[in-house]
Amino acid sequence: MQQEKAIAGKASHMAKKGLAAGFPLVLSYVPVAIAFGVVARQSGMNVFDIVMMSVLVYAGAAQFMSVNMMNVGAGALEIVIATFVLNFRHFIMSFSFMNRLRHIEFSKKAPLTLLLTDETFAVSSIHKEEAKKEKGIIFYTVLILSAYISWIFGTIVGALLGDIIPPKLSESMGIALYAMFIGLLVPPVKKEIRLGIIAVIAMILNAFFSQFMASGWSIVLGTIIGGASGIFLIKEAKA
């Protein structure tokens, strides 16, 4: 009995930590999702299709891109292939994330991979201690679910209230995700400058590759090759 209570206590503690870590994600997802809903609605998609896209695809950049492509009359296969190219980076991220959750049961971690985005991956990776703790999986589940729910919620709001949001505000919100990426990167870099070198190498590689290939592939190559510098720059052997 005592033991059960202790476990339940740890679980709710991890859930609270997950909510706290997920709050910045909620805050930056809602406005960007609203912007997506607005843009998609204005391009003529119906509310149901717009919301289903956020539920089933759940990948911001690809969703914006697909609306653009539909507007210029691209074919279905073209859009699906472009989505694959743009989102293939999640394969690499999922690989890195799953390597850290090795000791967690398959049935608990497999669903999380489906909802892995740039942002949930980045926040999960910065909070790497939780992976080793008891009930740590609850931390990641709550974190990832709160991001997913806020993405869907923002999409619904944007699709329904499309015309009320001033364009200047929704454009300014485009900086939200970048601000979050920067806010996530700076604290670990202040502790260990080598991590910043890895990030800068990936930036330069991505800028270079993006000159002559689709941005999806150039992010993938920038991440893989830039990450390879970690073989020499990262001290810890364990992920």
Partner 1 sequence: MILLIVIGMSLATMIPRLVPVFIVDRLEFRPWLNRWLAAIPYAALGALIFPGILFVRESSPVAGILGGLFALLLSLFRLNIVLIVIGAILFMYFYPA
Q: Looking only at residues 179 through 208 of this chain, which bind partner 1 when binding is defined by CB under 8 A?
A: 179-190, 195-196, 198-203, 205-207
| In the complex, minimum distance from the CB of residue 238 to partner 1, in angstroms, rounded to a whole number | 6
Instruction: Print burial letters for 143-174: b (CB count within 10 Å at least 16), e (below 16).
Output: bbbbbbebbbbbbbbbbeebeebeeeebeebe
Q: Does 80 help bind partner 1 (rule: CB under 8 A)?
A: yes
Q: Does 175 help bind partner 1 (rule: CB under 8 A)?
A: yes
222 and 209 Cβ atoms separated by less than 8 Å:
yes
Candidate residues 33, 59, 157, 159; the one interacting with partner 1 per rule CB under 8 A = 59
Candidate residues 24, 64, 156, 214; the one interacting with partner 1 per rule CB under 8 A = 24
State which residue, 163 or 236, has the beta carbon closest to partner 1: 236
Cα 118 to Cα 29: distance, rounded to the nearest angstrom: 12
Q: Does 5 help bind partner 1 (rule: CB under 8 A)?
A: no
State which residue, 116 or 138, has the beta carbon closest to partner 1: 116
For the segment 128-167, give every residue that binds partner 1 (CB under 8 A): none
The secondary structure of residue 74, as a DSSP letter, is -
State which residue, 138 or 201, has the beta carbon closest to partner 1: 201
Interface mask (CB under 8 A) for partner 1, residues 217-236, using x and -?
-xx--xxx-xxxxxx-xx-x
Backbone angles phi, psi at 194, to 5 degrees: -60, -30
State which residue, 131 or 138, has the beta carbon closest to partner 1: 131
Q: Does 33 help bind partner 1 (rule: CB under 8 A)?
A: no
State which residue, 10 or 153, has the beta carbon closest to partner 1: 153
Question: Which of the stretches 5-13, 103-111, 135-143, 149-157 binds partner 1 when contact is defined by CB under 8 A?
Answer: 103-111
Which of 28, 27, 40 minimizes the C-alpha distance to 155?
Answer: 40
Q: Does 27 help bind partner 1 (rule: CB under 8 A)?
A: yes
Cα 120 to Cα 132: distance, rounded to the nearest angstrom: 18
72 burial level (CB within 10 Å; 0-12, 13-18, 19+): exposed
Which of 207, 203, 202 minimizes the C-alpha distance to 229?
Answer: 202
| In the complex, minimum distance from the CB of residue 72 to partner 1, in angstroms, rounded to a whole number | 14
Q: Does 73 help bind partner 1 (rule: CB under 8 A)?
A: no
Candidate residues 33, 35, 39, 53; the one interacting with partner 1 per rule CB under 8 A = 53
Chain-centre distance for alpha carbon 111: 15
| In the complex, minimum distance from the CB of residue 168 to partner 1, in angstroms, rounded to a whole number | 7
Q: Where are the alpha helices (H) located in 88-192, listed in sequence order?
A: 89-100, 106-114, 118-126, 136-160, 167-172, 175-191
